[in-house]
Amino acid sequence: MQDTSTTTDPYLWLEEVEGEKTLDWVKAQNKITLDKYQEQDLFRQIEKQSLEILDSKEKLAYPQFVGEHVYNFWRDEKYVRGLLRRMLLADYLNGSKEWEQVLDLDQLAEDEDENWVYKGQQLFSPENERTLIWLSRGGSDACVIREFDLPTKQFVEGGFEVPEAKSDIAWKDRDHLYVGTKFDDDSVTDSGYPRVIKLWKRGTSLEEATHVFEVGKEDLAASAWVSHRDDAHHEFLSRTIDFWNEENFYLQGDKKTKLPLPTDAPLRGLFQGYLFTTPRTDWEGYAAGSLLAIKLEPLLEGQLEIEQLYDSKDGGTIESVSCLKSYLVVAVTENVQTGLHRFELGSDGRWNSSPIEVTEGGATSPAATSSWRDDFFLTHESFLTPTTLYHHDGKSTLKSVQSLPTRFNSEGLVVEQLWATSADGTKVPYYILRPEKLPETGDSPTILYGYGGFEVSLLPRYLSLPGRNWLEKGGIYVSANIRGGGEFGPSWHQAALRDKRPRAFEDFEAVAKDLVERGFTKPANLAVHGGSNGGLLTGAVLTRNPQLFGAVLIGVPLLDMRRFHKLLAGASWMAEYGDPDNPDDWAYLQKFSPYHQVKEEAEYPPVLLYTSTKDDRVHPGHARKMVAKMKSFGHTVDYYENIEGGHAGVSNNKQQAFLTALIYSYLWDKLAH
Q: What is the model's pLDDT at position 315?
A: 80
DSSP at 156: P
Q: pTM of whole model > 0.85?
A: yes
The answer to whether 270 and 234 are in contact (CB under 8 A) is: yes
The answer to whether 602 and 594 are in contact (CB under 8 A) is: no
Which entry of 529, 619, 647, 651 is annotated as an active-site residue?
Answer: 647
Dihedral sign from CA coordinates of 483, 485, 491, 497: positive
CA angle 352, 356, 358 (to 5 degrees): 170
Q: What is the model's pLDDT at position 316?
A: 86
In 98-252, alpha helices (H): 105-112
Half-sphere exposure of 160 (CA within 13 A, CB side): 26
CATH match for 20-52+414-671 among 3.90.180.10, 3.40.50.300, 3.40.50.1820, 3.20.20.140: 3.40.50.1820
* 392 labelled catalytic: no
The answer to whether 547 and 523 are in contact (CB under 8 A) is: yes
Q: What is the model's pLDDT at position 623?
A: 98
Distance in Å from the first CA to the final CA of the chain? 49
How far apart, in whole angstroms, are the C-alpha atoms of residue 104 and residue 663?
31
How far apart, in whole angstroms, are the C-alpha atoms of residue 370 and residue 361?
26
Q: What is the model's pLDDT at position 650?
A: 58
Q: What is the model's pLDDT at position 596?
A: 98
Q: Which of 168, 7, 664, 50 is nearest to 408 (CA)?
A: 50
CA–chain centroid gap for 643, Å, is 21
How far apart, in whole angstroms, are the C-alpha atoms of residue 247 and residue 38?
51
Q: What is the model's pLDDT at position 6?
A: 63
Q: Which amino acid is at 557?
A: P
How far apart, in whole angstroms, are the C-alpha atoms of residue 331 and residue 95?
27
Residues forming a β-bridge with 344: 352
Instruction: List all residues 6 or more positions away from 662 whose beta carbon is below 8 Å from its beta carbon.
Output: 33, 34, 37, 38, 43, 608, 610, 640
Give the residues of the chain that fall short of pLDDT 70. 1-7, 644-651, 673
* 532 labelled catalytic: yes
How far apart, in whole angstroms, are the C-alpha atoms of residue 118 and residue 420?
41
Q: What is the model's pLDDT at position 157?
A: 96
Residue 478: what are its φ and ψ, rounded to 5°? Answer: -130, 135
How far apart, in whole angstroms, are the C-alpha atoms of residue 331 and residue 349?
23
DSSP at 67: T
What digits encode the pLDDT tens for the residues 156-185? 999 999 999 999 999 999 999 999 999 999
- Going by their DSSP bridges, the two strands 607-612 and 551-555 should be labelled as parallel
- 10 Å CB burial of residue 634 (0-12, 13-18, 19+) is exposed
Ordered strands of the 255-258 beta sheet? 221-228, 233-242, 245-252, 255-258
Which entry of 532, 593, 651, 665 is annotated as an active-site residue?
Answer: 532
Which own/partner pairs from 512-519 qualify as long-range (CB within 8 Å, at least 24 positions apart)? Answer: 512/448, 512/541, 512/548, 512/549, 513/420, 513/548, 514/418, 514/420, 514/421, 514/430, 515/432, 515/446, 515/448, 515/476, 515/478, 518/418, 519/438, 519/442
